[in-house]
């Protein structure tokens, strides 16, 4: 299996060093390299890499800000010269982080872990979001990689969307309308103007005022299915 890989670092020497070290790994196929976040975002959209080697501290947008702009996040190995960023990346459940200067042994462990993750999701069509796809959210000082299937509720909050998973609800800087277009329709349903739910997390459904419905999720959250959406929802759920 070839792992389509994109190198993102503002320093050309750092990219060249990484390319040299990666020659020992025949499964790594370097499809491109970028020197800043905006360039990288464009390349990610067009090349659809499986893996990013991502420097965190870059002029303009840093590595975290780059990931926030992606609708679907590839596997990520952070490469950084700063310990504080490495700790933050670890909290983000990153595949791996590597401190500069890069040691071959640590690089090998990171690639082995990446290969395992990518093989697990190999059946997924490139560009299409599924329950195994992951999104990146930075909420204040905390960062998260979240599997789509682990999100049970999405709630509009101005220019942001509150993302509910586990016992957390960080804000994602995207609109609910955009997410509705991107998320798999067999899993997520827009119950009203402000909320979408994961159908796999439904615990109970009750009739409500003027033909609407009340849905209770396994998390204990209760949402209202608007009268307008209730007809479609009943058809979908065979009610």
Percentage of residues in the chain having pLDDT higher than 90: 60
What letters, b where the CB count within 10 A reaches 16 and e where it falls short, cover 163-184? bbbeeeebbbebebeebeeebe
Residue-level pLDDT at 217: 97
Strands of the sheet with 202-207, listed across from one edge: 202-207, 213-217, 222-225
103-129 tens-digit pLDDT: 999 999 999 988 988 887 665 544 567
Which carries the bigger pLDDT value, residue 67 or residue 85? 67
State how far the alpha carbon of 181 is from the alpha carbons of 53, 68, 126, 185, 217, in Å. Answer: 28, 18, 16, 8, 22
Residue-level pLDDT at 71: 83
Using H for helix, E for strand and C for coil, what is the string for 184-223?
Answer: CCCCEEECCCCEEEEHHHEEEEEECHHHCEEEEECCCCEE
What span, in angstroms and rounded, lies between the C-alpha atoms of 66 and 59? Answer: 12
User: What's the token pair of residue 91?
Assistant: 């909290």
Residue-level pLDDT at 3: 95
Question: Above 70 in pLDDT, residue 86?
Answer: no
For 21-28, which contacts have Cβ atoms below 8 Å and span 24 or more sequence positions?
21/102, 21/104, 21/107, 22/107, 24/104, 25/108, 25/111, 27/1, 27/2, 27/3, 27/111, 27/115, 28/2, 28/3, 28/111
Residue-level pLDDT at 123: 52
Average pLDDT, the chain: 89
User: What's the token pair of residue 167?
Assistant: 């016992």
* Residue 11: pLDDT band with limits 50, 70, 90: very high
Predicted model pTM: 0.80
133-177 tens-digit pLDDT: 888 888 877 788 889 999 999 999 988 999 999 999 999 988 999
The SS3 call for residue 21 is: helix
13-27 tens-digit pLDDT: 999 999 999 999 999
205-231 tens-digit pLDDT: 998 877 889 999 999 999 999 999 999
* Residue 91: pLDDT band with limits 50, 70, 90: low
Say if CB 97 and CB 82 are below 8 A apart: no
């Amino acid at each position: 299996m070839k792992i389509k890989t994109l190198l993102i670092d503002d320093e050309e020497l750092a990219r060249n060093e990484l390319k040299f070290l990666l020659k020992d790994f025949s499964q790594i196929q370097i499809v491109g390299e970028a020197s800043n976040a905006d360039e990288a975002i464009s390349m990610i959209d067009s090349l659809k890499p499986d893996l990013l080697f991502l420097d965190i501290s870059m002029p303009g947008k840093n590595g975290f800000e780059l990931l926030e702009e992606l609708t679907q996040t590839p596997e990520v190995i952070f490469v950084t010269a700063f310990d504080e960023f490495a700790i933050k990346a670890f909290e983000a459940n990153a595949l791996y982080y590597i401190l500069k200067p890069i040691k071959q042994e640590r690089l090998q462990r990171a690639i082995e872990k990446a290969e395992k993750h990518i093989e697990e999701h190999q059946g997924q069509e490139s560009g299409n979001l599924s329950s195994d796809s992951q999104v990146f959210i930075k909420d204040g000082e905390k960062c998260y990689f979240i599997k789509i299937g682990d999100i049970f509720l999405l709630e509009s909050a101005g220019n942001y969307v509150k993302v509910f998973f586990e016992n957390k609800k960080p804000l994602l800087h995207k609109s609910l309308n955009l997410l509705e277009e991107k998320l798999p329709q067999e899993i997520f349903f827009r119950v009203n103007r402000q909320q979408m739910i994961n159908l796999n997390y439904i615990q109970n459904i009750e009739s409500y005022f003027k033909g609407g419905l009340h849905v209770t999720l396994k998390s204990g959250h209760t949402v209202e299915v608007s009268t307008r959406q209730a007809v479609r929802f009943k058809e979908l759920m065979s009610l």
